[in-house]
Structure 1
């Protein structure tokens, strides 16, 4: 049986989406391929298993934080802390003679420099992009830094034996930008957590509740939701807060908190600080549906990993996303709702229908859709890609 080494800097960090995703994928690869994981380790890292190797490094992350403060885009390819870790990792992997494939997972992006060393020891180099680089709309960059990002991304794609993306919006951009390398660019979706679909969803009572999990900041705003709530207040007989509530769980920017206050929606929108996965799933089991919010002003090239978990709970999902969007594609394909700029009125009426009958949308979406994101399903697809390299 072939052996795969996953190099994932934040693996085991229970608060990092990248680390969580690789842990889920790793669980889905059991039985298909022998897997090792090499990771940095954090204070809140889980205790490593037999196939999980922690490579600790002298903590120079404060220099990286300074670099990020100067420019988030610069931090995408320059990191003293990660470069030193790469040297330590290379000294380990060149002794791993039984490893056939080495997958380097981004974020963070500077780790892909390790791909050059992987090629030197004649192993198959797999570059995984959990977030886009050049097309990342959250990275503010100067003209010169943008040139560096483009060159760095091309360097990765050119040197890798396989390039893994997580959605077809980014794949479309890559296939046009790197048409000469399109044969080695593939799509592998995020994984959900195993067995979420068996968590007991009790019969719902009391207020109709929706939940948004994750950070809201920058261009990820809830303006359309606030507008919809204003319209609902005008149409509904009685007080909206008596029958409806939205929970925002995660890090919420102060500007969004201020907007909620200005719209007099503090009695409807409740903000809850980040919680553990166990506590979050407990919230999921008790609400009527979910909300996902993207920036509405630019094409959405991101695959929000929370969507996989939402699908697993088989409740209605309401998305706010632009026309070209991974979120929109997934929600529309699975039979859920997705709204854009200027559609707050439609959203308001959709919610009023839900308040009138909280089960009215329970049968309109595909309840088997979550299975596409089960770790063993994604893992089997990944192994098929690996076999194509042999």
Structure 2
């Protein structure tokens, strides 16, 4: 009888730890809670560069169960990327700006010479992870689970031109055809793909964004200092601070004495427009800290009384498909949430009247009124108002990591 051999699991994920990015943080939590006793795991990821996916050493422990990490360079330098962007912009839509990751398929095969996989698990975004996984699936003829953290062709942020749209439609269809299972993060995205690919309905599964139960906040809430509102995460394009700052200005104009007793803190990457809005704000209670490592971001969330989430200010219903990963970090902090989002969005359905309150971008009056309610509760010393003890286990990384392990073993 032959000795037992661990199955070789290959994870393909451009945005993986120790990069500090929303998708990387989600990947980290799933990696931590996968059951590794049955797997010998190799991770293929991109080499760390600067930009919006910087290195964060506090995330390295999430790789401790990975047997081998293969790093593939995407762009040699920013000048090559800029030149490609100028001369051949259509290449950056095949499928995205990380396309060289899947161009280096032959290089990856050589590096996998002694680690040919028994099963493949890929995480996108970026979508180039899925394209590389498709090529590896076709070569090794093994089961493949494709995870889409955001919609692909139907992602409203892509703004694909004609060639890019045609390429991505073809590749999305191929990936759905050849993937053995496709996992998505929200019920709305699941419904989108069930309608779009009825022939693949049996492949579709919901694997939501998750929180790490080991990080649940057990620190007692204090109300003896300033009332603190905190936003951690990215601000760009229509996911902007305008509505929030307008509401803060209205609140302060009604309650001028509150100015020295309340802080609104924003931390995370922001585009130039949002940076300028925050840094030019004349209110002393508004502070922008820039990007923070994961551990400092976690500390800031725990020190808050109210956690702010801002979704995109768009009429396009496709924006309601997104499941903001920061909501899961907010669950860990066990604090009430103030969300700016569209009615009927994934955020709205999850949070409204259960873990906080939701307001649309144009409801400045409602936002200002709610900030006033928070301030009044703070002055009264009402701790319970700010505390979210009921953390939903359906979003636990422990629960979903075990589900994923079971799925991989079954395949």
What is the TM-score when the length of structure 1 is the normalising length? 0.87
User: Does 2:48 match 1:42?
Assistant: yes
Equivalent residue, structure 2, for 1:101: 119
Aligned match for 1:307, one of 302, 321, 327: 327
Does the residue aligned with 1:200 lie in a helix, a strand or coil? coil
Counterpart CA distance in 2 for 1:350 and 1:210 is 12
RMSD of aligned Cα (Å): 2.9
Compute the displacement of 1:327 (Å).
1.5
Instruction: Name the structure 1 match of 2:52.
Output: none
Residue 346, structure 1, aligned to residue 366, structure 2 = yes
Stretch of structure 1 that moved more, 53-62 or 206-215: 53-62
What is the aligned partner in structure 1 of residue 69 from structure 2?
54
State the 1:177 CA deviation. 1.1
Tell me if 1:179 matches 2:198.
yes
Q: Secondary structure at the match of 2:129?
A: helix
Alignment match, 2:304: 287
Deviations 1:52-105 (A, max 9, x none): 4222445634344554674696153575631344323234446446x4321122
SS in 1 for 2:108: helix
CA contact (8 A) 2:377 2:385 kept: no
8 A Cα contact 1:94 1:121, kept in partner: no
Aligned to 2:271: 253
CA distance in 2, matches of 1:354, 1:72: 49
> Which residue pairs with 1:320 in the alignment?
340
Q: 1:36 to 1:354 in 2, by over 3 A?
A: same
Question: Mean Cα displacement is larger for which, 24-33 or 125-134?
Answer: 24-33
Q: TM-score, normalised by structure 2?
A: 0.83
Q: Can you give the 5+ residue segments of structure 1 that lack an aligned partner in the other structure?
A: none
Partner of 2:295: 278
| Aligned CA distance change for structure 1 residues 73 and 321 (closer, same or farther; 3 Å) | farther
Q: Report the equivalent of 1:188.
A: 207
Deviation for aligned residue 1:258:
4.0
1:112 maps to what in 2? 130
Name the residue aligned to 1:158.
177
Q: CA contact under 8 A between 1:126 and 1:164: conserved in structure 2?
A: yes
How many equivalent residue pairs?
A: 386
Distance 1:333 1:121, change over 3 A: farther
The answer on 1:26 being equivalent to 2:31 is yes
Alignment partner of 1:14 is 2:33: no
> 1:168 maps to what in 2?
187
Q: Is the 8 A contact 2:17 2:25 kept in 1?
A: yes
Cα 1:364–1:208, aligned 2, differ >3 Å: closer, same or farther? closer
Structure 1 CA distance for aligned equivalents of residues 336 and 124 of structure 2: 31
More deviation in 120-129 or 329-338? 329-338
Partner Cα distance (2:259, 2:336) in 1: 20
